[in-house]
């Protein structure tokens, strides 16, 4: 059943593969954002990449010419902080396999980041990973500390001649070493999208989740009950989408194709 795109009040945008690829902003991105603004449709950026802080992402987007603030950026670090606060109240010390930016975000939320008697182990996309810290993480996980992954991605997309080993692959090494599996947050877990809907005062079908990955962006949207919009400007192909038992609500070449569909659709007044 075709969704009522005229009922969309807010668009949640994946970043790499959706609005840019690596260091290059897609040509359709700025016109698309302008169309949303003109139509009174809000938008938020949601990425599974926890190698950078919200401030880092704001700076990156502003360098592209996109004006935004930290309130418009969501990452699995937000989900992880909420999870720790909900499930382990009073646990204030955590060991983090993550970049200095990620560690700083946990510290700003009131946690102490330490390898000296932590109360939980958090693994993110650690582009500063060292063998010593990997081994220390395995030691504490083996001591039955909570083992939490910010997101499941095995690799991070890049336009460079390399493979960026991501959080899921780091966790796979830790699972192989310890026999322990992590609690996995981030996309496709729907909690971050549902939290965002509640914060906006919207029901999920008033929100479109737009992304290029089927197993994270689209699965999360479907689990949350939001409108799932797959763009073919990143990882997924039309052939991938055609083989799905539960296809996305909308499949478009890129967000440039989506803009007119949102703004021209009849529906409730925004």
DSSP string, 69-131: -GGGEE-HHHHHHHHHHHHSTT--EEEEES-HHHHHHHHHTTPEE-SSS-S-EEE---TT--H
Threshold 0.85, pTM exceeds: yes
Burial class (CB in 10 A: 0-12, 13-18, 19+), 51: buried
**End position of a domain, from candidates 184, 206, 225:** 184
Query: What is the percentage of the chain residues whose pLDDT exceeds 70?
Result: 97
**End position of a domain, from candidates 165, 184, 203:** 184
Query: What is the percentage of the chain residues whose pLDDT exceeds 90?
Result: 86
Query: Which strands form 121-123's sheet, in the order they lie side by side?
Result: 112-113, 93-97, 121-123, 147-149, 183-184
The DSSP secondary-structure symbol of 16 reads B
Arithmetic mean of pLDDT, 35-59? 94
User: Is 190 a residue whose pLDDT tops 50?
Assistant: yes
Q: Is residue 253 part of a domain?
A: yes
**End position of a domain, from candidates 167, 184, 201:** 184
Please check whether residues 233 and 145 belong to one and the same domain: no
User: Is 269 a residue whose pLDDT tops 50?
Assistant: no
Please check whether residues 83 and 173 belong to one and the same domain: yes
Q: Is residue 249 part of a domain?
A: yes
Please check whether residues 117 and 135 belong to one and the same domain: yes
Arithmetic mean of pLDDT, 73-88? 93
pLDDT band, very low/low/confident/very high, at 263 (cuts 50, 70, 90):
confident
Q: Is residue 191 part of a domain?
A: yes
pLDDT band, very low/low/confident/very high, at 266 (cuts 50, 70, 90):
low
Residues 168-180 as b or e (16 or more Cβ within 10 Å = b): bbbbeebbeebeb
Arithmetic mean of pLDDT, 232-254? 95
C-alpha distances (whole Å) from 160 to each of 21, 22, 156, 163, 164 are 10, 8, 11, 8, 9
Residue 111: give the domain boundaries: 76-184
What radius of gyration do the chain's Cα atoms show? 19
- CATH number of the domain to which 138 belongs: 3.40.50.1000
- How are beta strands 147-149 and 121-123 bridged, if at all? parallel
Please check whether residues 180 and 91 belong to one and the same domain: yes
C-alpha distances (whole Å) from 185 to each of 93, 182, 240 are 19, 9, 24
User: Is 213 a residue whose pLDDT tops 60?
Assistant: yes
Arithmetic mean of pLDDT, 99-127? 96
- The three-class DSSP label of residue 219 is helix
The structural domain count of the chain equals 2
Which has the closest alpha carbon to 49: 133, 190, 128, 155?
Answer: 155
């Amino acid at each position: 059943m075709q969704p009522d795109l005229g009922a969309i009040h807010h668009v949640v945008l994946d970043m790499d593969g959706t609005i840019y690829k690596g260091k290059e902003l897609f040509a359709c991105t700025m016109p698309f954002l302008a169309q949303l603004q003109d139509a009174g449709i809000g938008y938020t950026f949601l990425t599974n990449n926890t190698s950078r802080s919200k401030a880092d992402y704001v700076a990156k987007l502003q360098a592209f010419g996109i004006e935004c603030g930290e309130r418009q950026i969501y990452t699995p670090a937000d989900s992880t902080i909420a999870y720790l606060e909900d499930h382990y109240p009073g646990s204030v010390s955590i060991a983090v396999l993550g970049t200095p930016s990620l560690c700083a975000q946990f510290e700003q939320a009131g946690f102490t980041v330490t390898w000296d008697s932590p109360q939980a182990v958090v693994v993110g996309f650690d582009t500063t990973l060292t063998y010593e810290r990997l081994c220390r993480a395995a030691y504490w996980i083996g001591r039955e500390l909570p083992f939490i992954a910010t997101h499941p991605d095995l690799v991070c997309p890049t336009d460079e001649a390399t493979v960026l080993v991501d959080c899921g692959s780091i966790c796979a090494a830790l699972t192989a070493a310890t026999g322990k599996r992590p609690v996995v947050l981030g996309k496709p877990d729907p909690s971050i999208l549902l939290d965002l809907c509640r914060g906006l005062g919207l029901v999920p079908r008033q929100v479109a989740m737009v992304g290029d990955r089927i197993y994270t962006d689209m699965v999360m949207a479907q689990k949350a009950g939001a409108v799932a919009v797959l763009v073919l400007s990143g990882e997924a192909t039309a052939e991938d989408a055609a083989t799905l038992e539960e296809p996305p609500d909308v499949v478009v070449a890129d967000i440039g194709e989506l803009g007119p569909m949102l703004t021209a659709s009849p529906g409730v007044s925004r």
